[in-house]
Structure 1
Amino acid sequence: MKSKPARSVLYLPASNARAIEKARTLACDVAILDLEDAVAPEAKIEARAAAVAAVRSGGFGPRLGVRINALDTEWGSDDLAALSDTPIDLIVAPKVEDADTVRAHSSQIPSGTALWAMVETPRALFALNDIAASGGPLEALMLGTNDLATMLRTGPSPDREPLKPWLALTVAMARAHGLMAIDGVFNRFADSEAFAAECAQGRLYGFDGKSLIHPSQIDGANAAFAPTEAEITNARAIVAAFNAPDAVGRGAIQIEGQMVERLHLAAAERVLAQATTNP
């Protein structure tokens, strides 16, 4: 699946008009208007109307999505129905625990709209293959680390030690089914050093980008999940070497004393594609 960049995925409460207006000009790859956790129960209906109005009026630089309430709540179905005839780019489904939930969303979202499934409960972890294999408009798995850590009752850890198996599993399932994988949020938005470290960890594990809770995190995420100059230089060297006349038909070649195979060529081409797509 060829997907647009999702290095920085910023959540904004749909009940906050100023936040919505600001989102139009932010440098994040994706802006998510949130109807779920960021909105109090008494403000749900008003926030829904604001999200629909924002989608209809357009003018957003980032790709625009809406996180609806779960379908088993009193608001979820109405959220989905209200967005069904809007030009929304993507819908985020919270607390997805099985493939049936993915299919329920898929059958109701507008044609051409992508679906991102949030993985944030222990039950979801053991249904992840079925969830990722649901197909249709499903485009990404989003790991909800806050909810997951709470439900697993994990202790605090600066390097997310208790969550490492689930970081790896989410990426593996996404790759197995041609989906993007989006890492969870970092709550201490004023701690730029720790945020950078967690972004680096997420990229090390293979995530495509990170969920954000504050605009100050955008630049750091964009930098962390984009190819470095060294990676771009190396990728260009690999592509050039395989394009040389003496490399025709060869499955492996030597570049500066290192054996490089065709699988490395595919990875290099992906790096160069990212460098072209990500400003």
Structure 2
Amino acid sequence: MTASASASSASSAPRPPVGKLLHKGVLRLVLQRPEKMNALSREMMDALAAELTLAGQDPEVRVVLLGAEGKVFCAGHDLKELTAARAESDGGRATYEAILRQCSDLMQQIVRLPKPVIAVVTGVATAAGCQLVASCDLALATDTATFCTPGVNIGLFCSTPMVALSRNASPKQAMEMLLTGESIDASTAKSFGLINRIIPADYLDQVVQKYAEVIASKSPLTLKIGKEAFYRQLEMPLAQAYDYAASVMVENMLTRDAEEGITAFLQKRAPEWRGE
């Protein structure tokens, strides 16, 4: 095969569902099925889970950015895929159970990943797509981004998106989104606690990269310890949370990175992290 033929063959090969680019410790994962509104099909969830697994194992990755191509960040589950399963002998029950378990596992994988995951929302995040945003540790959005859990409009309450949503917004705010199925804009999403910051679209890439690099500059071990402790203590009674957090802080204090960080601060120099 000639070089030109090889290049032509490569260019015609289908793109993977998720693209990636690593720069200065910041890994950008991009959902790239805009023609399907970046729906969480089984293929998409498999691809994203695989990339997150690799990110968790790669010492070069400090922070993960999760974005998407097109006007829709993520439209939630693939309704065509769900509808096709109705033709199965059990009416689709086994398929629905498998898909929802796969989605739940993916959302929990994001929470358990030992590195911060930041959603970057430039379009519509709906249903399980809104769940995806809520499952990330942080979320940044343009002022044109919108969010909704519209399942109630089609007779399918957004019960699994509710889990992540209710851990971001207050109960009444979450219920408002779930019961009305109406979209909220970025400003409302920020007031609800669903996103952290609103960024003008023209400056998105630069601001997001700088934001992520600030976090990536910290000790990777400290980020791992802190993220795990944050989610574990959330579900504990107050006294238990303090006991647990104190024990985590003691173990953290005994790490090499904590010793280095404190020494560097006292000596007024930049710390040298080893992840130990």
TM range (shorter): 0.3 to 0.5
Q: Which has the higher helix share?
A: 2
> TM-score by structure 2 length?
0.33
What is the TM-score normalised by the length of structure 1? 0.33
